[in-house]
Amino acid sequence: MGNKLIGYGSYLPRKTVTNADFERVMDTSDQWIVERTGIRQRHFAAENETVADMALAAARAALKNTGLTVDDLDMVIVATTTPELDFPSVAVQVVGRLGATKNIPAFDVRGACTGYIYALHCGRAFFTSGMCERIMFIGAEKMSRFIDMNDRSTAVLFGDGAGALIFERSTSSYSGIIDTVVMSDGKSFDMLHGTADHKIVMNGPETYKKAVMLMPDAARYIMEHAGITADDVDWIVPHQANLRIIQSGAKRLGFPLEKILVTVDKHANTSGASGALALAYAFDNNIIKKGQLVLYPAFGSGLTWGATLIRV
Ligand code: ACO
């Protein structure tokens, strides 16, 4: 039992923050940020705009894109690490605000920057078991809530936004979410974590070293598992953390840079929202075309890492 991609949507907050805006409030420069990260701008949600608001906007866009209503879905999974409320989940809030008349299962997964792969991993199991017909996967984050303006090495890295993809059960096992792999290593907690008072603690160079090793590892694993090579893959849509990480990972895998989708320059690192946001951007701009094979590796706090193979 397989699945296929039937629609997508995204949402970016109206407020754009450029590197020049950071130059005005801290000791940094556009040149440093662009050279070290490739980031040129990011979107920040309004103060009263929540993760659920952004997830809802992306969900509405995805439903509009498919011509479906929330009652056509039988599960909603949200990948988020930055919800304002511990309960209820963002997924349940979204389903309620979409006006569902059915009582479908809805839940959040927390996998930091790998969260969306964790969500797809769960959803794939529901498709394979035949338990679900149509699932909406949303990635939504308000990273700006965790930004410490006294820490220039992390403040400039993150952005807010949401993306959503809808998959439907299908008889083909070569479409939609073809494969997923997710992993974790809790021993590296100190390298990258959030604090109770919403600050990001990160050892940048160590995080960089792990990311350029583990994302290619996950990508390699999934290609071997699927019996394909780099030549079979049309696009790599890596978690958008940092351009140097993306380029170094692509080089290790032997992928030409033309096959790498980059949105980190526009969105910065939106953690669990980055993959769905990047895919929505690529579909909107006719960059990734129907039928193409996409490899999406990710890495994040935990540590967590993983990859998925999607025929769009
Ligand atoms: N502007 C100007 N200078 C800065 C800034 C800034 N925003 N931030 C740090 N610096 C300075 C440091 O203070 C340091 O100065 P010093 O030499 O006088 O002490 C200097 O730049 C070098 O600092 P490093 O931390 O060694 O810089 P590095 O080259 O490692 O780059 C960076 C830092 C960009 C954070 C890099 O380590 C990195 O990309 N790490 C991965 C981080 C990441 O992507 N995390 C996202 C979360 S995980 C994920 O999503 C995969």
pLDDT of amino acid 82: 97
CATH topology identical between 2-170 and 176-311:
yes
| Ligand 1 contact via 211 beta carbon (within 6 Å) | yes
Residue 48 appears among annotated catalytic residues: no
CATH class of 2-170: alpha beta
Please give the CATH number for the structural domain made up of 176-311. 3.40.47.10
Domain residue extents for the chain: 2-170, 176-311
Q: Is the pTM of this model over 0.85?
A: yes
Residue 191 DSSP class:
G
**Cβ atoms of 269 and 160 closer than 8 Å:** no
φ, ψ of residue 164 to 5 degrees: the values are -140, 140
Q: Give the orientation angle of helix 90-97 with respect to helix 51-66, to 10 degrees.
A: 50
CA of 208 from ligand 1 middle (Å) equals: 9
Which of the residues 3, 43, 65, 113 is marked catalytic? 113
**Residue 121 to residue 251: CA distance in whole angstroms:** 26
Is 193 designated active site? no
Residues of the chain with pLDDT under 50: none
The pLDDT value recorded for residue 211 is 96
pLDDT of 27 reads: 97
Residue at token pair 């866009």: 61
Provide the pLDDT for residue 18: 98
pLDDT score recorded for residue 76:
98
pLDDT of residue 1: 78
Tell me which residue of 147, 202, 141 sits closest to 17, measured CA to CA.
Answer: 147
Q: If you measure from the C-alpha of residue 153 to the centroid of ligand 1, how many angstroms do you get, rounded to a whole number?
A: 5
Q: Quick check: is 198 catalytic?
A: no
pLDDT of residue 282: 98
Q: Report pLDDT for 172.
A: 83
Q: Is any atom of ligand 1 closer than 6 Å to the C-beta of 18?
A: no
DSSP string, 8-36: EEEE--SEEEEHHHHHHHSS--HHHHHHH
